[in-house]
A and B are shown apart, each in its own frame.
Chain A
Amino acid sequence: MTLARHVGAALAVAVVLAILTIRLGPFRDYQIAEAAAYVTAVAGLTYLIGLSGQISIGHGAFMAVGAYAAALLLLHLDWPLEAVFAASAVIAAAAGGIIGAAAARLRGPYLAGATLMLAVALPSLADKYAGVFGGDQGLSVAVTTPAWLGTTFPPTRWLAWITCAAALITLVLLANLGRSRIGRSWRALRDDEIAAALSGLNVARMRMLAFVVSSACAGLGGALLAVVTDIVSPGAFNLALSISLLTAAILGGLGSLAGAVWGSLVLVFVPTYVTDVANSHGLSSGASSNVPIAAYGVVLIVVMLVFPSGIQGGLRRLLGPVAPAARPPFNALRRHAPASEKQEEGTR
Chain B
Amino acid sequence: MQEFVEFTLGGVAFGMIYAAIGLSLVLIWRGTRILNYSQGAMAMFTTYVALIVINHTGNYWEGFAVALASGLVLGAALEWVVVRRIEDKPPLNAVIVTIGLLIFLEGLAGIIYGGQYRSFPPAFSIVGLTLGSTALGISRNDEFTAGAVLAAALGLAALFRYTSVGLRLRATAFNADVARLLGVRIGRVLTLGWALAGLIGALAGVLVTPSTFLYPNSMDSIFVLGFTAAVIGGLESPVGAVVGGIVLGVVLNLAGGYLGSDLVPIFGLAVLALVLMVRPSGLFSTTAVRQV
Which residues of A approach B to under 8 Å, CB–CB? Answer: 49, 55, 102, 105-107, 109-110, 112-114, 116-118, 120-121, 124-125, 127-128, 194, 239, 243, 246-247, 250-251, 254, 286-287, 289-301, 304-305, 308-309, 329-330, 332-342, 344-348
Contact = CB atoms under 8 A, between A and B. Distances in A.
Question: When A and B form their complex, which 10 residue pairs have the shortest distance between CB atoms, in order from nearest?
Answer: A297-B104, A294-B107, A290-B110, A293-B107, A300-B100, A335-B33, A297-B103, A113-B231, A121-B269, A121-B265
Contact of A116 (B94, B103, B106, B227): B227
The secondary structure that dominates the A interface is helix
A293 B109 CA distance: 10
B35 interface: yes
A304 B96 contact: yes
Nearest to B224: A120
Interface in B77-115: 82, 85-86, 89-97, 99-111, 114-115
B85 A294 contact: no
B224 A239 contact: yes
A118 B269 contact: yes
Contact of B265 (A124, A296, A347): A124
B288 to A, nearest CB: 5
22 contacts: A110-B231, A117-B265, A117-B269, A121-B269, A247-B96, A286-B115, A290-B110, A291-B111, A294-B106, A297-B101, A297-B106, A301-B82, A301-B104, A330-B90, A333-B92, A334-B91, A335-B33, A337-B33, A337-B177, A338-B30, A345-B291, A348-B290
B239 to A, nearest CB: 17
B160 interface: no
B216 interface: yes
A346 B290 CA distance: 9
Interface centre among B33, B93, B292 (most CB of A within 10 A): B93
Contacts of B108: 290, 294
B280 interface: yes
B111 A287 contact: yes
Nearest to A292: B107
Q: How large is the interface on B (under 10, 10 to 19, 20 to 34, 35 or more residues)?
A: 35 or more
Contacts of B249: none
Interface string B180-202: 00000000000000000000000
A52 to B, nearest CB: 13
A114 B93 contact: no
B235 A109 contact: yes
A167 B115 CA distance: 35
B137 interface: no
